[in-house]
Amino acid sequence: MLSARTVLTRTARLSNARLNSTLVVAEHDETKLAPITLNAITAAGKLGNDVSVLVTGANAQKVAEQVAKVNGVKRVLVAQDDKLKNNLPERVAPVVLASQKQFNFSAITAGSSAFGRGLIPRVAAKLDVSSISDITQVHSADSFTRTLYAGNAVKKVKSSAAVKLLTFRGTAFEPAKEGGSGAVEKAPSADIATDTSEFLGQELSKSERPDLATAKIVVSGGRGLKSGDNFKLIYELADKLGAGVGASRAAVDAGYVPNDMQVGQTGKIVAPELYIAIGISGAIQHLAGMKDSKTIVAINKDPDAPIFQVADIGLKADLFKAVPELTAALK
């Protein structure tokens, strides 16, 4: 039989556990939330706890209000401070740690982007636990599937850490939709050191085309295009389809296109509804960045090109003939 004291202790533990919540650290540009945070909120919801979101920045309040409307978000913590402008991981980490101290989250998470990958391991080190990156499936609160070698291998892992530090691969989870009404409150104050890192600037490429990482259709070109000028065939087709434009690393290395267009292991990971690979052989490092696309179309003159093994629709043809024909047919 349980003594009254034991029952009381258990009740206290249970209510403490119920207060536990998963924290998602939001990524944004001071005006709008990055789409990957919506994927991370969906993934965080699968851990079985309430979802809280921390929004840090010099203009965090506006983004916090957007986050509060996301389905499944119970609480939004806002840390608005000029020191947090551009959300340098060195400066966001103390805010996450202060929030952890106050709320005792059972998991601290973010999207697997440069932001999440810079922040989460840093927080993990401070909490003396390991972080798990690039999660593609959540099986339970402590068991996950993650990708290794940029998606060419998967591994199921179990974590016994008291607090799980996780990053989620955006393309593996649906974005959370609108429909929530989370409470917005101030994040606990933190000591943010400003002498260890400084934001010097960033160069963002501007494009009228949809963002490669989130476009529903992506048209990518490879070394088969033979020159940067010939990439206009890819742009014309993409513009007809309202698509984002990607490239293989060989095309980037040859200087045909800038490197922010690279898809693959060392480039962007995409999973659009439709991926059209043109003059791309289908090296494993390229496949790592696009093989989760819903429908893959390949145009290649070599019938043995490995891209045809993953393609749903393959066209063995000379791209210089087939692509203009395809673009014209879409008129």
Is 246 one of the binding residues for ligand FAD (CB under 6 A)?
Answer: no
Is 265 one of the binding residues for ligand FAD (CB under 6 A)?
Answer: yes
Is 171 one of the binding residues for ligand FAD (CB under 6 A)?
Answer: no
Q: How far is the CB of 306 from ligand FAD (least distance, A)?
A: 8
Is 250 one of the binding residues for ligand FAD (CB under 6 A)?
Answer: yes
- Nearer Cβ to ligand FAD (40/250): 250
Distance between CA atoms of residues 64 and 60, nearest Å: 6
* Alpha-carbon torsion, ordered 115, 87, 65, 79, to 10 deg: 130
Q: How far is the CB of 259 from ligand FAD (least distance, A)?
A: 10
First to last CA, the chain: 79
Are 197 and 92 in contact, with CB atoms under 8 Å apart?
no
Is 249 one of the binding residues for ligand FAD (CB under 6 A)?
Answer: yes
> SS3 of 297, please?
strand
- Cα angle: 274, vertex 275, 281; to 5 degrees: 155
> Quick count: other Cβ atoms within 10 Å of Cβ 127?
17
Q: How far is the CB of 285 from ligand FAD (least distance, A)?
A: 3
Distance between CA atoms of residues 218 and 287, nearest Å: 14
**Selected range binding ligand FAD among 110-118, 141-149, 166-174, 283-291, rule: CB under 6 A:** 283-291
Distance between CA atoms of residues 264 and 260, nearest Å: 11
Residue 272: which of 181, 323, 209 has the closest Cα? 209
> SS3 of 136, please?
strand
**Selected range binding ligand FAD among 33-41, 43-51, 82-90, 312-320, rule: CB under 6 A:** 312-320
| String marking each residue 202-241 x if it binds ligand FAD according to CB under 6 A | --------------------xxx-----------------
Binding residue numbers for FAD:
223, 248-249, 262-266, 279-286, 300
**Selected range binding ligand FAD among 38-46, 94-102, 200-208, 285-293, rule: CB under 6 A:** 285-293
Side chain identity, residue 210: P
| Binding-site ranges for ligand FAD (CB under 6 A) | 222-224, 248-251, 262-267, 279-281, 283, 285-286, 289, 300-302, 305, 318-320
